[in-house]
Structure 1
Amino acid sequence: MPSYRSGSSSPTRRVATAAGMLLSVLALVVTLPGTASAAPGEDRGPVKRGDAWMGMSVERHEGGKPQEEPPPSLAASVEGVDVSGHQGNVDWNALWNSGVRWAYVKGTEGTYYQNDYFTQQYNGSYNVGMIRGAYHFANPKDSSGAAQANFFVDHGGGWSKDGKTLPGVLDIEYNPYDGNDCYDMSAGAMVNWIRDFTNTYKARTGRDAVIYTTTNWWATCTGNDGSFGATNPLWVARYASGPGALPNGWGFYTFWQYTSTGPIVGDHNVFNGAYDRLQALANG
């Protein structure tokens, strides 16, 4: 048998040690920022392109405490949810039974990502009776507004006058990737990008896209531009007991994302009006 100097390890022990080191390295790789999808409500640092979701950066940038349920003052409102690929196959029957009547589903991001669960989420919500629509997570650093609007419409973001399809949403919020919150764009360039998107979407679908944003991001990154309020419905994000001050140009909100910790799926919202007004929005 071979002899070993004092302090040396046996072949079995060396193999076990090497295996342990390999497992540690693998564990580190899967948890490095940007190598795994972060779940909604969690902050794991930078995420990889395509992993962004509506409202992912609201708490980190603006604070606020997500509400556990709709504020009691919103009597004439309709409960809704927004979902992305992070939710996987959604239990739409459970959401319907809980009182949810509308849903928005992430369809695309930039010109490089399509939601793998889009069909189950988009058709599933429709099949249980919900009014539903699709949203696009904007990445202005990737490509032009027109290019992203066309990509969105071509991959689930269209509209049809069937009474059950809401106009598409432009989700424009804090940059979750590299650079600054405004995607390294000036206020004027950002306004032009948003207009490029909304004009193209209107030309393709006949509908004005809903704009999802926060009041702070809008003021910071568009220079508090007030030119979209007359045409594009507002979806404001604020995790508090009320929607607060609205972005410049809008006198009222159409949707309000009030929490990221709701039941069944995290992101819950209210439509500002009765159900027949939600139907009217769907019908155009």
Structure 2
Amino acid sequence: MQQPAASRSPRPAPARRWRWVAAAVVVLLVLGVVAAWFLLARPGLRDGEVHGVDVSRHQGAIDWPAVAADGISFAYIKSSEGSDLTDVRFAENWDAAGRAGVERGAYHFFTLCRPGAEQAEHFLRTVPPDAAALPPAVDLEIAGNCSQRPDPEAVRAELDAFLAPVEAAWGRQVVLYVGEDWEGEYPVLDGSTRPAWLVSFVGRPDRPWTVWQHSWWGRVDGVEGRVDLDVARLDELDRPA
């Protein structure tokens, strides 16, 4: 029912409306600056920590001397996936990072669709043991994985079938990159003694870590476009198997 004219609420004055608009714009700008800081900035380092990146073919050609000059001390480089996929830029990145003085390690994307033993064989063919390199890492994520979802016991068995021969060949524990989606469906962190590589965009992870990925949208000289940024305690990485 229409109200009598005398009882209708007065419309805000134009000046008042513009003040609200201006305040909203300021709030959005502040939130944007805060978000950009969390996504792009490098956190301060504590004793024993260094800055690093993890890369794959998606970064394209990388100028590794420029990366090293931008304060990047280490890099984890994608080598392989499943039982037959080799990253097309692995050999190029591996050699160039080493020549630039960047400490390098290789990581394997673990698929739920292939046996763990086959994946270990493929990884070891691609990245033979190298005492001068960082220990291998395995990327455990549901995102980007195949459509199969085996039960947790089966996944645990296949992951063990990957880890055992890789650690035996390298003589060092494999670093576990664990996405939150993976940990929610296939928990591996509780009770594990292996170095943990955790993701947290809003501060340091709330559980023990050895490598911390703090951004998926970082910028580094020598890399065109975005790149994952990490912090590592390298002296904690080299744990005997």
Report the TM range for the smaller structure's normalisation. 0.7 to 0.9
Distance 1:199 1:178, change over 3 A: closer
> Which one-letter code corresponds to 1:263 in the other structure?
R
Q: Residue 138 of structure 1: which of 104, 107, 110 is its match?
A: 110
1:258 maps to which residue? 214
Structure 2 stretches of 5 or more lacking a match?
Answer: 1-36
1:98 maps to which residue? 70
TM-score, L = length of structure 2: 0.75
Identity rate, percent? 27
Q: After TM superposition, give the deviation of residue 133 of structure 1 in Å.
A: 0.9
1:154 maps to which residue? 125
8 Å CA contact retained: 2:143, 2:181: no
8 Å CA contact retained: 2:110, 2:119: yes
> Which one-letter code corresponds to 1:109 in the other structure?
E
Structure 1 stretches of 5 or more lacking a match?
Answer: 1-64, 247-251
1:193 maps to which residue? 158
| Equivalent-residue separation in structure 2 for 1:86 and 1:225 (angstroms) | 28
Q: After TM superposition, give the deviation of residue 72 of structure 1 in Å.
A: 2.7
Aligned residues: 200
1:89 maps to which residue? 61
> Which one-letter code corresponds to 1:83 in the other structure?
V
Q: How does 1:1-284 map to 2 (within 5 A)?
A: 67-72=39-44, 74=46, 76-141=48-113, 143-156=114-127, 158-162=128-132, 165-179=133-147, 183-222=148-187, 226-227=190-191, 229-230=192-193, 232-244=194-206, 246=207, 252-264=208-220, 265=223, 266-272=227-233, 277=235, 281=238
**Bigger radius of gyration:** 2
| Equivalent-residue separation in structure 1 for 2:145 and 2:131 (angstroms) | 36
| Equivalent-residue separation in structure 1 for 2:146 and 2:112 (angstroms) | 12
2:29 maps to which residue? none
Secondary structure at the counterpart of residue 98 of structure 2 = helix
| Equivalent-residue separation in structure 1 for 2:38 and 2:85 (angstroms) | 28
| Equivalent-residue separation in structure 2 for 1:282 and 1:159 (angstroms) | 15
Backbone CA RMSD of aligned residues: 2.4
Deviates more, 1:97-106 or 1:191-200: 191-200
The answer to which structure has the higher strand fraction is 2
Secondary structure at the counterpart of residue 94 of structure 2 = helix
TM-score, L = length of structure 1: 0.64
